[in-house]
Chain A
Amino acid sequence: MPVNFVPSGAEMLRILPEIILVLAGTLIMIMEPLTRPANKHFLGKFALASLFAALWGSVVAHANPGPAFQNMLIVDGFDTFFRILVIVVGILTVLASFQYLKREQSDSGEYYALILFSLVGQCVMAGANELIMVFIGLEISSIATYVLTGYLRDDKRANEAAIKYFLLGSFATAFLLYGIAWIYGLTGSTNLTEIRSALMDLQTSPSVMLVGTAAALMLVGFAFKVSAAPFQVWTPDVYQGAPAPVAAFLSTGPKAAAFAIFVRVYATAFDSISARWEPLIWISALLTMVIGNFAALVQNNIKRLLAYSSIAHAGYLLVAMTAHSEIGIAAIMFYLAAYALMNVGAFAIVAHFSRRRERYLQVEDLAGLGWKQPVTAGLFAIFLLSLIGVPLTAGFFGKFYIFKAALEADLLWLTILGLLTSAVAAYYYLRILVVMYMHEAGEPASTLPPPGAGLKTALWASAVGTLILGIFPSLVLDFAGRSATLLK
């Protein structure tokens, strides 16, 4: 075989963030049993440092774009955007976890190592140009998150959540793999660019039915990962059972990466058969928005409420996906960035507020927080207002770009229904604000200790980010817009 297997130095540079994350994760694993329990928090600091290094690594990789490893991975603006996004999510999660793990007396290196490994998978997903890489990235990311979900192993709910997530997740990936196999059988390739050209030829042949089925099978896998209806059922149980910082991570990092491959596969490889999958996503988008928003209305558990809200947000993202345009892709990218900041922030506050063993998770428990801890509550209010989509927060422009893209694609009805459900959504976020500011302070709010340094940093960073994206959206949107055009 004349193929030269040895990657060039440039190719190694293109996977620099992954290399850094793998090395750091492995190092943490080997240091973990060698560290005394009192010093375990150093492992967290080390993980944080390595995440910043990975951030630098993705900037270096971006300076040197192109394909790597026989076109299995591709480093372009799209890849860099999502790499940076998931690594930032990782940084915020790690910062928010210090105090939590200490409180639960579960500070250990494995937690951080698993986050790093999961991020490796997500970075691979962001740059995958190959269905096999898509699958491998997805599995690396998922397996680590299955373990993270059940990280508090004495907790019954966490165990239930982990098992549920694992079983349903494996099932969904099986569908995805089956779809990949069909595609390989039909086109003779797993490379997205080659599939794209093969499908263009297939346009006229009768096997387009088979291609449609394959695309639908893969859709099941992706829809599960982004918690789109009707494959969203696991989300509330898993987010509720998982430790709150892990829920913050799950609802943003893996979701963003899953959307990245979702977009890349469907907008690149399946571009020519969009007539087959657009109607499916149209229906899914509507269902997801309706189910997410209406189910969230009746939730009393904050984690469950945020879980349903995250389903609803996936619905908005699917609206942009249905638009199937570069503007829609840029809107998805911007929205995911905005959503990551506000949702990590919201979950981080829930993690802090819930106290040991997550006792205080009812909406009513937040009563009077606005007066007992004005700063924490104020930050929470910013995240919630952003989730509603009030102007001057990132959430507003996120929704604005998505519905703008949808209108541009003539999806008038989907836009109207989406806007109406998003107005309904205001109610359940406002309920939290009502309880925080308009009810008398109860015991949970009065006894809340102030947030630690790490959590504080994470909260302020997310809040400032939310506001900056809300006032000067061009900063991120222009990069997203440029990257979306590269995607072909």
Chain B
Amino acid sequence: MDHILSIVLFTPLVGLLVLLFIPSSNARAVKLWANIASFAGFLVCLPLIFRFDRTKDFQFVEKADWIPSLGASYHLGIDGFSLLLVVLTALLGFLAILSSWNAIQIRLKEYYAYFLLLQVGMLGVFMALDFLLFFVFWELVLVPMYFIIGIWGGPRRVYAAIKFIIYTLIGSVLMLLGILMLYFEHYSQFQVLTFNIADLLQTDLSGTVQWWVFWAFFLGFAVKVPMWPFHTWLPDAHVEAPTAGSVILASVLLKMGTYGFLRFSLPLLPDAAKNPTIVNIMAVLSIIAIVYGALVSLMQKDWKKLVAYSSVSHLGFCTLGIFALNPAGIAGSILQQINHGISTGMLFLIVGVVYERRHTREISEYGGLLRIMPVFAIVFLITALSSMGMPPLNGFIGEITILQGVFQMSFNWAFWCVVGILLGAAYLIWLYQRTMLGEVPEKNTGLKDLSPREIAVFAPLLVWAFWIGLYPRPFFEVLERPVAQIVERVRPGYYAERNLRNPLASPSPAARISAPVPAGD
């Protein structure tokens, strides 16, 4: 059996264990080791990209007994969708740690330890093929994030940290209830106790059960995404968290929610997911998030809060794309999740750069930075364009694909999407104008431009942004099968009815998602 996923998963943990033995008085060694460990964590996930076979579903599968009496196992595997998120996590985990070199001055050892632990949890969420294992990683993520916000955050950090954890805990206990309902339904039909997702997919669920389980899952995932009206923890958490914490929160943690919808809610509960009532509620909540997030962003005086609310708006696109329930909508949504990880991650890093220099996030404190920090201003420009969806950058590809999917579903939804895109352009351009252009206030004249280390943080993300923008084909190819699996599950015969090529019927007769995954794959 191939153990590469375990290696990817536990590299940060090994790094963490070694870190605990480095004396905290030696700040340089602590920082250096944390960077090495997280970079190693990124490097070990690269073979996944090269060895990935896009004609197959779950790959690199590992399975070992964990709690036999419950039917829970240590079961890992990734498909194209999780591959992208795993790589995103590994890369951003490393960049977040790299970006903290100067930003964090106190309690370094604990700081990096929490980041490495967070990394394990996030990777585990995207790799787990066992529902209980998934839940364990899902909850594991909360603890380090809670400490990162609460210890290294801004003035209202304790409030933000507690709000973050209580919201997500309440969401996730109800999700656990949903998992258990599913588990018992499966047991009553097959007399086998299992948390294996492939097995749970075989369960024949009545409409009512699907309905209730869907809402139980919804609470867990919607809080995480966050969908309106469960988003209120997000601005607080973002504003108070240290830069690296915000980056991880926005780029990876929020994706756990959308990942949950796509991996669990849709395939496991297809009837509920296509129930018109649910679809409409989801769409309305998403549209509210898109427009509301954008409008609130427009009104912000705090740079970081603006970016935080823009996240609400962008994630609204992702959830809307999911509930368009067609290949374009879902593929666009996934791609947009990656895009959001890249561009919002960079936006938070940008706020971090100026905050490190000026220790304020008031937009009115800045202006004319273009003249003082030209490299920085260019990076910001590209990021802003990427975030607002300008060609030839990544955001454009994602948004246009979502729009295509949504348009097939409803003209009204598409209309609101366009409104959201326009508003998004407005608040970003206005932000850029207020901070980068115009007169330079006296106190900003001495600001230094990006250091080589900071450029190193931005460079991979910029490259990725252009890559998706100019040549998105490999991404769509990787996503083809996972998306088709979801669509065929929710709307069987979708491709055949529309005379589309069904990616699942490709030459290699790969195992279907619903069939047990062959071992040794």
Closest chain-A Cβ to B406's Cβ sits at a distance in Å of 35
B165 touches A430 (CB 8 A): yes
| A423 CB–B CB distance under 8 Å | yes
| A457 CB–B CB distance under 8 Å | no
A341 to B393, CA, bound (A): 55
A423 touches B142 (CB 8 A): no
Give the residue among B107, B143, B181 with the most A Cβ atoms within 10 A: B143
A474 touches B158 (CB 8 A): no
| A19 CB–B CB distance under 8 Å | no
| A404 CB–B CB distance under 8 Å | yes
Closest chain-A Cβ to B151's Cβ sits at a distance in Å of 6
A478 touches B169 (CB 8 A): no
Interface set, chain B 145-199, CB cutoff 8 A to A: 146-147, 150-151, 157-158, 161-162, 165-166, 169-170, 173-174, 176-177, 180-181, 183-184
A407 touches B184 (CB 8 A): yes
Given contacts A391-B135, A474-B69, contact A434 B143 (CB under 8 A): no
Closest chain-B Cβ to A59's Cβ sits at a distance in Å of 23
Mask, A438-450, CB within 8 Å of B = 1, is: 1000000000000
Main secondary structure of the interface of A (DSSP, over half): helix
Mask, A448-474, CB within 8 Å of B = 1, is: 000000000000000000000000111
Interface size class of A (residues with CB under 8 A): 20 to 34
- CB-CB under 8 A from A422, the residues of chain B are 173
Task: Identify which of A63-71, A317-325, A412-420 touches chain B.
Answer: A412-420
A474 to B161, CA, bound (A): 33
A407 touches B165 (CB 8 A): no
A481 to B135, CA, bound (A): 23
- CB-CB under 8 A from A433, the residues of chain B are 146, 150
Closest chain-A Cβ to B144's Cβ sits at a distance in Å of 11
Closest chain-A Cβ to B301's Cβ sits at a distance in Å of 27
| B201 CB–A CB distance under 8 Å | no
A438 touches B157 (CB 8 A): yes
A85 to B66, CA, bound (A): 24
Closest chain-B Cβ to A149's Cβ sits at a distance in Å of 35
| B362 CB–A CB distance under 8 Å | no
A430 touches B140 (CB 8 A): no
Q: Which residue of the partner chain A has the closest CB to B65?
A: A474
| B136 CB–A CB distance under 8 Å | yes
Mask, A122-158, CB within 8 Å of B = 1, is: 0000000000000000000000000000000000000
A403 to B180, CA, bound (A): 9
B176 touches A473 (CB 8 A): no
A426 touches B177 (CB 8 A): no
- CB-CB under 8 A from B67, the residues of chain A are 472-474, 477
A371 to B24, CA, bound (A): 11
B142 touches A390 (CB 8 A): yes
B139 touches A427 (CB 8 A): no
| B68 CB–A CB distance under 8 Å | yes
A419 touches B173 (CB 8 A): yes
B140 touches A426 (CB 8 A): no
Closest chain-A Cβ to B6's Cβ sits at a distance in Å of 15
Closest chain-A Cβ to B137's Cβ sits at a distance in Å of 8
Closest chain-A Cβ to B127's Cβ sits at a distance in Å of 15
| A308 CB–B CB distance under 8 Å | no
Closest chain-B Cβ to A252's Cβ sits at a distance in Å of 24
B107 touches A371 (CB 8 A): yes
A404 to B184, CA, bound (A): 9
A390 to B136, CA, bound (A): 8
Give the residue among B69, B146, B147, B184 with the most A Cβ atoms within 10 A: B69
| A437 CB–B CB distance under 8 Å | yes
B69 touches A423 (CB 8 A): no
Given contacts A392-B136, A477-B67, contact A434 B162 (CB under 8 A): yes
B169 touches A423 (CB 8 A): yes
A404 touches B180 (CB 8 A): yes
A438 touches B169 (CB 8 A): no
A299 to B456, CA, bound (A): 49
- Residue from the list B136, B169, B180, B183 in contact with A426, Cβ < 8 A: B169
A478 to B147, CA, bound (A): 34
Given contacts A390-B139, A407-B180, contact A420 B170 (CB under 8 A): yes
A472 to B184, CA, bound (A): 22
A437 touches B147 (CB 8 A): yes
A427 to B180, CA, bound (A): 24
- CB-CB under 8 A from B176, the residues of chain A are 400, 403, 419
B150 touches A437 (CB 8 A): yes
Given contacts A391-B140, A407-B180, A426-B169, contact A438 B69 (CB under 8 A): no
- CB-CB under 8 A from B142, the residues of chain A are 390
Interface set, chain B 118-143, CB cutoff 8 A to A: 135-137, 139-140, 142-143
A473 to B383, CA, bound (A): 47
- Residue from the list B147, B150, B184 in contact with A408, Cβ < 8 A: B184
A391 to B128, CA, bound (A): 15
Given contacts A404-B180, A407-B180, A438-B158, contact A426 B150 (CB under 8 A): no
Given contacts A392-B140, A434-B162, contact A419 B69 (CB under 8 A): no
A385 touches B180 (CB 8 A): no
A427 touches B184 (CB 8 A): no
- CB-CB under 8 A from A224, the residues of chain B are none
A396 to B161, CA, bound (A): 21
- CB-CB under 8 A from A390, the residues of chain B are 139-140, 142-143
The contact sample of 29 A-B pairs, CB cut-off 8 A, is: A371-B107, A374-B110, A390-B139, A391-B135, A391-B139, A391-B140, A392-B136, A403-B177, A403-B180, A407-B177, A419-B176, A420-B170, A420-B173, A423-B166, A423-B170, A423-B173, A426-B165, A426-B169, A430-B146, A430-B166, A434-B158, A437-B147, A437-B150, A438-B150, A438-B161, A474-B67, A474-B69, A477-B69, A481-B69
Interface residues of B (CB under 8 A from A): 66-69, 107, 110, 135-137, 139-140, 142-143, 146-147, 150-151, 157-158, 161-162, 165-166, 169-170, 173-174, 176-177, 180-181, 183-184
9 closest A-B pairs by beta carbon, nearest first, are A391-B136, A419-B173, A391-B139, A423-B170, A423-B169, A438-B150, A474-B67, A407-B180, A423-B173
Interface residues of A (CB under 8 A from B): 371, 374, 385, 390-392, 396, 400, 403-404, 407-408, 415-416, 419-420, 422-423, 426-427, 430, 433-434, 437-438, 472-474, 477-478, 481
